[in-house]
Amino acid sequence: MKNLIDRLKALKGLAALPIHTVTWGLVIVFSGWIVLDLTYLKLSSGLSQTTYDAMVKHRLYASPPDPRLVIVDIDEATLAYMAGEFGRWPWPRDTLASVQDFIEHQEPLAIVWDIAFADADRLSPGGDAAFNASAARSPHSHYSVIRLPPANDNQSRLGRENLPTLWVRPADAAHSASLSKLAAIVPVLPNIAAGKLGFNNGYPDSDGVLRRYRYSEELADGSVIQSTPMSVAGDINPSLTQQLISIPKNLNKQGIDGGTLIAWRKRADAYPKISFADVFIKAEGGKPKVDVASFKGKVVIVGSTAPSLHDQHPTPLVAFQAGVESLANVTDNAINARFVLEVPRWIQALIAIGLCAALAFWVRRFGISSLDGALVILPGALLGISYLSLNFLPVFLDLQLAASAVLLFLAALRAWNNFRRNYWCNLPEHWLADAQVTTDQTLHLMALQSNNHSPFADTGLDHLMDLLEAHAPNCRVVGGDATAAWPAKLRWSELACHTTLMGPLDQLTGLSKTLPSHLSADHITRLASPITKVSIAKTIFRSPT
């Protein structure tokens, strides 16, 4: 019990610390935590994922979809129609060859296959032969490779010589003697493997939501492989290849490139879709239910939105978005060089530390109470800036770290200020008589008033405590606790312009000579014994004003 009392007394002593010592001490503590988290702990990961998703979903502005993009959709209606003749998916590949030839003859910008041709069709080898021949006739088609985890690269035999079009940059000179291998699931048909290739992997965050996309990947030997959207963009505009390679890497906690934030369209189903069944019927010379427009000058993405084919995943827009729609988004971003870059975490840390330091300067000048409104407004304003940057800037200003640091910093200052007020506005126990025991006979009361009608509440009380701290450390404030938490206003502010100080005569006299111009001391009254809270109150009310 005695140890607990000693600790409480030690805490009371902390409340007497100078305000600048506490504020700058908190700045040092918060800065140390931020740097430690940035370099070692890595506990914070930026803006809350659900908050970011809400910002994306409720944007004021999002870039419109490129009208050149169109999806040939293997939807549930297509699966039902094709099942009558070809059975369940996957169908014989000569059906896909018919569609590929039909689109290719219309001179599209690109045909993007969101389908992995990883296995031979042993039931229909003629279909494989037909699609393999069609691939040789289709200079605009781009095919997908499934990239396996890099940890498996050392066990692979695949190299650049096997898939030359997948690489967009060779190995650097320092590694030319030991070229990297690549672990991947590659197309089984030879003309597809020799065609235009790109990996088509989605890398969701830890909560399973797809927010970023990796347009290229640098291997251990310095060479670079491309994604399918990058293959399309480089084919349309070769200068985009280097631009996509040069996108700043967003390293995650494991030091691996987590990809670039996807600039989502306003809606999940932003791109027009044409049923694969209708295109197939038109390709076969029939009459589809819906007119099939020309694919000339279009980027045609062939993929599936059918839930039964399980190519769906959560995105910031919806709980389940078809993979082909996500591929359309990132392909649109690639061909239009539309990227959402992220502020590096070290810059986020500097912003957070800078804001804490700025608040320390503000507190030294205007007091802690002047920041009552900032406890709500400032973190909200920082998140508002993040939201606006997501709408109108090519760089996402993730200020969650700064907002969190500011919120905690202000909360710590406010808690300590309440602790400080308890110290300067409460009388020490040994000043008061216990029963009829007489205490120190040299205690006096000094009436104090504000000449500019500024009440001793909140900021005014903070400045008064600063005066006691500097010139009368053994004195205390006696009077009404006139405080009003923002946004409420102080009632009876006229009465709050008067207060009383209690302490030794020499310190009260010295303080009266150092008061700033807006304060004045009316009189000093000696306290009679025994000193109790009742006798103090009677003395205050009997004293002339």
Give the other-Cβ count within 10 Å of 169's Cβ. 16
Q: What is the DSSP letter of 399?
A: -
Element (H or E) spanning 419, and its range? helix 400-424
Percentage above 90 pLDDT, the chain: 61
Q: How far apart are CA 481 and CA 425, in angstroms?
A: 8
Q: Taking a C-beta distance cutoff of 8 angstroms, is the pair 494, 449 a contact? A: no
Convert the pLDDT of each residue in 464-481 to its tens digit.
998 999 899 999 998 756
Q: Residue 249: which pLDDT band, with cuts at 50, 70 and 90?
A: confident
Q: Taking a C-beta distance cutoff of 8 angstroms, is the pair 453, 45 a contact? A: no
Distance set, CA 497 to CA 460, 481, 522 (Å): 9, 12, 13
Q: How far apart are CA 368 and CA 358, in angstroms?
A: 13
Q: What is the DSSP letter of 40?
A: I
Q: What pLDDT is stored for residue 306 in this prediction?
A: 96
Listing DSSP states for 469-483 in one string gives HHH-TT-EEES----
pLDDT greater than 70 at residue 380: yes
Q: Residue 534: which pLDDT band, with cuts at 50, 70 and 90?
A: confident
Convert the pLDDT of each residue in 8-57 to its tens digit.
455 566 787 888 888 999 999 999 988 888 777 777 666 678 889 999 99
Place of tokens 């900032």: 374
What angle in degrees, to the nearest 10, is found between the helix axes of 400-424 and 345-366?
30
Convert the pLDDT of each residue in 323-338 to its tens digit.
999 999 999 999 999 9
Q: What is the DSSP letter of 263?
A: -
Q: What is the DSSP letter of 150?
A: G
- Chain centroid offset of residue 152 CA: 32
φ/ψ of residue 300, rounded to 5? -100, 120
Q: How far apart are CA 454 and CA 460, in angstroms?
A: 7
Q: Omega into 190 within 30° of 0, i.e. cis?
A: no
Q: Omega into 149 within 30° of 0, i.e. cis?
A: no
Listing DSSP states for 436-461 in one string gives T----TTEEEEEEEETT---SSTHHH
Q: What pLDDT is stored for residue 487 in this prediction?
A: 61
Of 334, 324, 333, the C-alpha closest to 70 is 324
Distance set, CA 458 to CA 15, 308, 359, 476, 485 (Å): 17, 64, 17, 16, 8
Convert the pLDDT of each residue in 279-336 to its tens digit.
999 999 999 989 999 999 999 999 999 999 999 999 999 999 999 999 999 999 999 9
CATH code, 430-542? 3.30.70.250
pLDDT greater than 60 at residue 159: yes
Q: What pLDDT is stored for residue 243 in this prediction?
A: 95
Of 373, 363, 523, 367, the C-alpha closest to 460 is 367
User: Side chain identity at 180, as an amino acid letter?
Assistant: S
pTM, entire model: 0.81
C-alpha torsion sign, points 267, 272, 278, 283: negative
Q: Residue 483: which pLDDT band, with cuts at 50, 70 and 90?
A: low
Locate the domains of the chain by residue range: 2-51+342-424, 64-335, 430-542
Which tokens belong to 373?
Answer: 């409104």
Overall size of the chain counted in residues: 545
Convert the pLDDT of each residue in 389-448 to its tens digit.
999 999 999 998 889 889 999 999 988 888 898 899 888 888 876 544 444 457 999 999
Which tokens belong to 282?
Answer: 């038109």
pLDDT greater than 70 at residue 367: yes
pLDDT greater than 50 at residue 457: yes
Q: Residue 230: which pLDDT band, with cuts at 50, 70 and 90?
A: very high
Of 26, 55, 56, 51, the C-alpha closest to 352 is 26
